[in-house]
Amino acid sequence: AAPILEVRDLRVHFPIRAGILRRTVGWVRAVDGVSLDLGAGQTLALVGESGCGKSTAARAILQLIPPTGGSVRYQGQELVGLDYRRLRPFRKELQIIFQDPAAAMNPRMLVGDTVGEGLKALGIVPNRAERLSRVAKLLEQVGLDQSALNRYPHEFSGGQRQRICIARALALEPKVLICDEPTSALDVSVQAQIINLLRDLQARLGLAYLLITHDFAVVSYLADAVAVMYLGQIVEYGPVSAILEAPRHPYTRALLAAVPQIDPQGRRPVLRLVGELPSPQSPPSGCRFHPRCPEAAARCRHEAPPAVRLGAGHWVQCHLAAGEGVIDRE
């Protein structure tokens, strides 16, 4: 089946301005050539350290930030370059939930109105009483009862507020839900409940998730495929089993080595991530990971690595893998 969402060579470059004239003196390449496919009803995890461009990529996919270049196709339809009016019908198809559910809600708005906001704004259910009865059903879907309708966000726990945000996103019956670190602001005991809820909703509604996270426990539980992002680029991409069991990029291995439960036998060499994430304003030459890579060779400093296809949708961008697979593109 064709992917519901196809992203090709997506770029988001922000100008750096300086001086009284605010002249552009450089560019931050926050997202620098990202390509991914999300299948209907599937979960693709986008993983990487904070600051690697994951959230910016997500916002650019939703056209909340205008991409500098590249293509985002939803069900075959190009979204990049559409004006506000032409984008409107797609707004409800692609929804997003954020890390901090409290910040995503108006504290002075009743939960019933918050969840129904999109239904009102898009004129789908103009009558408030009808809207609230629709909202009551949505709340039930996320495990909250009707009494939530007439309460304010602050009366709920963090986990309950995330449920409210999920209900609000579902109100528009999207096919794609972008989940930006959906559990990382929550207590550990609550995280599993939200993950389970997301899994149940996917099974029931056939939603596709683009799951932004740095938590491999969440990845192993929810994801079908994984894209590993480093300094604005995807460095490894593949089915979740390949990424968790046979990661090939030194960066993916380093991320996984930091998660003890993923590799209890410690079979993989433990690579420690040393150094800070370099600035996307002046990314390192050659392989962008070379200043932190324990396996870097001389060529890594000046030659960008090719994309190497290792098999069954698994590919990696690293010189070391060049002899092990088919070189897809230089």
Strands 5-18 and 94-97: unpaired
List the one residue from 30, 257, 273, 320 that touches ligand SF4 (CB under 6 A).
320
Q: Applying CB under 6 A, does 300 fall inside the site for ligand SF4?
A: yes
Task: Measure CA of the first residue to CA of the last residue in the chain; give whole Å.
Answer: 28
Q: Which does 116 bind (CB under 5 to 8 A by kind): ligand SF4, Mg ion, none?
A: none
Q: Which does 67 bind (CB under 5 to 8 A by kind): Mg ion, ligand SF4, none?
A: none
Q: Applying CB under 6 A, does 287 fall inside the site for ligand SF4?
A: yes
How many whole angstroms separate alpha carbon 50 and alpha carbon 65? 18
Looking at beta carbons only, is 59 or 319 nearer to ligand SF4?
Answer: 319
Q: Applying CB under 6 A, does 65 fall inside the site for ligand SF4?
A: no
Q: Applying CB under 6 A, does 305 fall inside the site for ligand SF4?
A: yes
Other C-beta atoms lying within 10 Å of the C-beta of residue 209: 24
Looking at beta carbons only, is 105 or 307 nearer to ligand SF4?
Answer: 307
Looking at beta carbons only, is 167 or 318 nearer to ligand SF4?
Answer: 318
List the one residue from 82, 262, 296, 327 that touches ligand SF4 (CB under 6 A).
296
User: Residues in the site for Mg ion, rule: CB under 5 A?
Assistant: 55
Other C-beta atoms lying within 10 Å of the C-beta of residue 120: 15
- CB of residue 238 to ligand SF4, shortest distance in Å: 16
List the one residue from 118, 153, 232, 250 that touches ligand SF4 (CB under 6 A).
250
Looking at beta carbons only, is 131 or 290 nearer to ligand SF4?
Answer: 290
**Residues that contact ligand SF4, how many (by CB under 6 A):** 13
**Long-range contact set of residues 75-84: C-beta below 8 Å, sequence gap at least 24:** 75/4, 76/2
Order across the sheet with 233-239: list the strands. Answer: 94-97, 176-180, 208-213, 43-47, 225-230, 233-239, 314-317, 307-311, 326-329
Q: Applying CB under 6 A, does 319 fall inside the site for ligand SF4?
A: yes
Q: Which does 293 bind (CB under 5 to 8 A by kind): ligand SF4, Mg ion, none?
A: ligand SF4
Looking at beta carbons only, is 52 or 197 nearer to Mg ion?
Answer: 52
The H or E element spanning position 327 is strand 326-329
State the burial class of residue 221 (Cβ atoms within 10 Å of its Cβ: 0-12, 13-18, 19+): middle
How many whole angstroms separate alpha carbon 49 and alpha carbon 41? 26
How many whole angstroms separate alpha carbon 245 and alpha carbon 262? 9
Sorted by sequence, the CB contacts under 8 Å of residue 28 that are 6+ apart come out as: 13, 14, 16, 279, 280, 281
Residues that bind ligand SF4 (CB under 6 A): 249-250, 287, 289-290, 293, 295-296, 300, 305, 318-320
